Structure 1
Amino acid sequence: MPTALDRPTERPADARGRVAELRAVRAQAVAGPSARATEAQHAKGKLTARERIELLVDPGSFHEVEQLRRHRATGFGLEAKRPYTDGVITGWGMVEGRTVFVYAHDFRIFGALRKAYGGAYIVMESQSIGADLTYAWPTNETAVMGAEGAANVTFRRQIANAEDPEAARAHMVKEYKSELMHPYYAAERGLVDDVIDPAGTREVLIKSLAMLRTKHADLPPRKHGNQPQ
């Protein structure tokens, strides 16, 4: 996935050329990996990350940051895939005139990321780090780890002693997914406050922000880079 700055051409020396280069780079970042990837997303009835954000915030209020960020990983062939934004659109905007900070995974890059496993659940604005309200869409998966890893750890003895270990593993993975890896299980245990219809996200957010408008919290001085839980 080559990008504008990866091209082995000499960069323009004059200011006009540099500005034109910047505009080309930003246009590439907004366009995403390819028109085909965008068409495939729309064909599934899904919106791109920026389209979802535009529906959420007040019109014209979103200001994107870190648009030109790219990873530096070299394993698993990632050195050949260095898209702008690194697959996450971040920034701030307004919802009913109130400033909110937003991030959305771009499903066209590195696959669909709707999962909150282990530490990822904690750091993605969970109640564990002080989030006032946490909502999930019906497509969300919240769990300690992925189904394959969980099955190998939790049911390793049953799998090892089974007549057909691979069939037993497949059964355990399927059972783990159906019973534990859905947002309703997370809601039952208070890991999320509610499971909401994606189409109603903006309305839910507006009501939540209105409820929290007068909230005031005095926090103790921060002494640790990683707060103990």
Structure 2
Amino acid sequence: MTRVNDAQDSTPAPPETSIPQDMRSRVDQLHEKRRTVHDGPGEKATERQHAKGKLTARERIEALLDADSFVEVEGLRRHRATGFGLERNRPHTDGVITGWGKIDDRTVFVYAHDFRVFGGSLGESHAQKIHKIMDMAETAGAPLISLNDGAGARIQEGVTALAGYGGIFSRNVRASGVIPQISVMLGPCAGGAAYSPALTDFVFIVRDISQMFITGPEVVEAVTGEAVTHDELGGADVHSTRSGVAAFVHDDERECLEDVRYLVSLLPSNNQETPPVSDSGDPADRRNDSLTELVPAEPNRSYDMRAVLDEVADDGDYLEVHQHWANNVLCAFARIDGHPVGLIANQPQTLAGALDINASEKAARFVHTCDAFGIPLVTLVDVPGFLPGTDQEHQGIIRHGAKLLYAYCSASVPRVQVILRKAYGGAYIVMDSRSIGADVSFTWPSNEIAVMGADGAANIVFRKEIAAAEDPEQARADLTEQYREELMHPYYAAERGLVDDVIDPAETRHVLARTLEMLRRKKASLPHRRHGIPPM
């Protein structure tokens, strides 16, 4: 019996076909339109963009995504507005390029303002293209990245432009905590062009070419009489060091876009997926012998907490969020044993690591973000308390500090606390103590957990004894040491079940890796409610 595969193919060849001439003509027209759209508004406009040190929108997309992975959506769309000269200028794309592509072979959605077309300003069609790609990203469960270089609402289109921004804002909020939303500021962005990024999860900004403000310098001077430059009002350094709007700041567009790719590699595509695992080859049980020397035993001596992050993270590699703002607390994405984690740590080099208003807000936002996307939290504690003073009290340290407390208490992801040296007062509680829901708490043998430092505590507890002593200074020293030995020794909290173990600092990474592995399938039950009411 002859098998079909062995038989000669007797199927007659299909008749030769040819595309009708009118169809070929239409196909050629389509290719020509696409080529024209891809080439952009013209060489002079591109030269002006490059002269400002800026890439074009398509160059940015090419630098962001894997090679040849971008698929454009509605590239031939044009505005339909009439009046004020718009009817004579109807370029394709209408000033925004939208579509999807890949980053490390994972799907992402992107839109990029094209400043060469109407200054990247937003009109009705422009907004509808963004609405569509935002809806597609949410439906597909993939990150959304916006490359922002736009002058705000298109004045010639009036209220329809404003309504377009409203549609973007509502989608930003609807997708919040569902898919990662990343905004990259690559030009002057005013009004609604600044508000939408503020609603997203992460804001990147590039020095010299990028600004964000609600109203520009001209309006500020007209209303207040204050003369200010674009950068002084809303430049990269303003938003990365003072306002806290920008989480990442860069000097170069391509370097910035490379860091966007790195951030995406640490995040899940949506809140239903687990963060991507990447084996670096760094052993989970690698010892951290240098930590004993890096962290001084004396509670008042300073050191750089980043050196601890270097030791704990896979290959010492981590991505710090808000690196230049609220430096008394560090927030960073890293991997431990290949799995992404969120690291929160007090920084003794700034304000001795005390929590203040900005640090509380910075850490609270980071905790909420990690919790939304299923990223475990590791909290490294060395905190003397909340920063005292009338300035902090009058500006609402109680309310702002409560934001961090609320964030930790509401987080349902795996949570591990490590107390390196000291944890005093309410700040000990707020930094993810067992009492507010940390799954596991460890301390080093050098730790001190107490209401306050031994000196201050002894002055209060033994006030009368010190005053009555023949040598008050010697009495204060003796009673301070007594308080420290009885209530602040390293095993006091462990003996009462407030920490789970006192560990060798050299074993910190290994202990964290094993604990996080155990917690990987954690299931947390939360009460049914519409949503909580966090302190705002």
Query: TM-score normalized by structure 2?
Result: 0.32
**Cα deviation 1:94-151 (Å, max 9, x = unaligned):** 111121222222233223732222222122xx242xx221111112111111111222
Q: Which structure is richer in relative contact order (CA contacts within 8 A, separation 6 or more)?
A: 1
**One-letter identity of the residue aligned with 2:106:** R
- Structure ID, larger Rg: 2
1:192 aligns with 2:262: no
Q: Output the CA distance in 1 between the equivalents of 2:195 and 2:97.
A: 20
1:117 aligns with 2:190: yes
Check 1:35–1:93 CA distance in 2 against 1; reply closer, same or farther (3 A cut).
same
Matches within 5 A, 1:136-175: 136-138=205-207, 139-153=209-223, 155=224, 172=226, 174-175=227-228
Matches within 5 A, 1:64-75: 64-75=72-83
Matches within 5 A, 1:1-229: 14-42=22-50, 45-111=53-119, 113=150, 114-123=187-196, 126-128=197-199, 131-138=200-207, 139-153=209-223, 155=224, 172=226, 174-175=227-228, 177-187=230-240, 188-197=242-251, 198-213=253-268, 214=275, 215-216=373-374
Q: Output the CA distance in 2 between the equivalents of 1:176 and 1:39.
A: 24
**What is the CA distance between 1:82 and its match in structure 2?**
0.8
Q: Output the CA distance in 1 between the equivalents of 2:79 and 2:246.
A: 30
Bigger Cα displacement from structure 2, 208-217 vs 46-55: 208-217
Check 1:43–1:134 CA distance in 2 against 1; reply closer, same or farther (3 A cut).
closer
Check 1:35–1:91 CA distance in 2 against 1; reply closer, same or farther (3 A cut).
same
8 Å CA contact 1:56, 1:201 repeated in 2: no
Check 1:75–1:190 CA distance in 2 against 1; reply closer, same or farther (3 A cut).
farther
Query: Number of paired residues?
Result: 189
Query: TM-score normalized by structure 1?
Result: 0.71
Check 1:116–1:206 CA distance in 2 against 1; reply closer, same or farther (3 A cut).
same
8 Å CA contact 2:63, 2:254 repeated in 1: no
RMSD: 2.9
**What is the CA distance between 1:216 and its match in structure 2?**
4.3
Q: Output the CA distance in 1 between the equivalents of 2:29 and 2:80.
A: 22
* Partner secondary structure for residue 189 of structure 2: strand
Q: Output the CA distance in 2 between the equivalents of 1:73 and 1:127.
A: 29
**One-letter identity of the residue aligned with 1:137:** V
8 Å CA contact 2:189, 2:212 repeated in 1: yes
Check 1:186–1:45 CA distance in 2 against 1; reply closer, same or farther (3 A cut).
closer
**What is the CA distance between 1:40 and its match in structure 2?**
4.5
**One-letter identity of the residue aligned with 1:190:** G
Identity fraction in percent: 44
Q: Output the CA distance in 2 between the equivalents of 1:116 and 1:59.
A: 28
Check 1:127–1:175 CA distance in 2 against 1; reply closer, same or farther (3 A cut).
closer
Check 1:190–1:96 CA distance in 2 against 1; reply closer, same or farther (3 A cut).
same
Q: Output the CA distance in 2 between the equivalents of 1:204 and 1:143.
A: 24
**Cα deviation 1:80-100 (Å, max 9, x = unaligned):** 111101121111111111212
8 Å CA contact 2:205, 2:236 repeated in 1: yes
Task: Report what 1:225 is aligned to.
Answer: none
Q: Output the CA distance in 2 between the equivalents of 1:175 and 1:45.
A: 22
Unpaired segments of 5 or more residues in structure 2? 1-20, 120-148, 151-186, 269-274, 276-372, 376-411, 413-527, 531-535
Q: Output the CA distance in 1 between the equivalents of 2:49 and 2:43.
A: 10
* Partner secondary structure for residue 86 of structure 1: helix
Check 1:18–1:38 CA distance in 2 against 1; reply closer, same or farther (3 A cut).
same
**What is the CA distance between 1:58 and its match in structure 2?**
0.6
Check 1:43–1:195 CA distance in 2 against 1; reply closer, same or farther (3 A cut).
closer
* Partner secondary structure for residue 14 of structure 1: helix
Q: Output the CA distance in 2 between the equivalents of 1:178 and 1:42.
A: 19
8 Å CA contact 1:151, 1:176 repeated in 2: no
Q: Output the CA distance in 1 between the equivalents of 2:51 and 2:192.
A: 32
Q: Output the CA distance in 2 between the equivalents of 1:73 and 1:46.
A: 29
8 Å CA contact 1:127, 1:191 repeated in 2: yes
**What is the CA distance between 1:42 and its match in structure 2?**
4.4
**One-letter identity of the residue aligned with 2:239:** A
**One-letter identity of the residue aligned with 1:54:** E
Q: Output the CA distance in 1 between the equivalents of 2:213 and 2:45.
A: 29
* Partner secondary structure for residue 76 of structure 1: coil
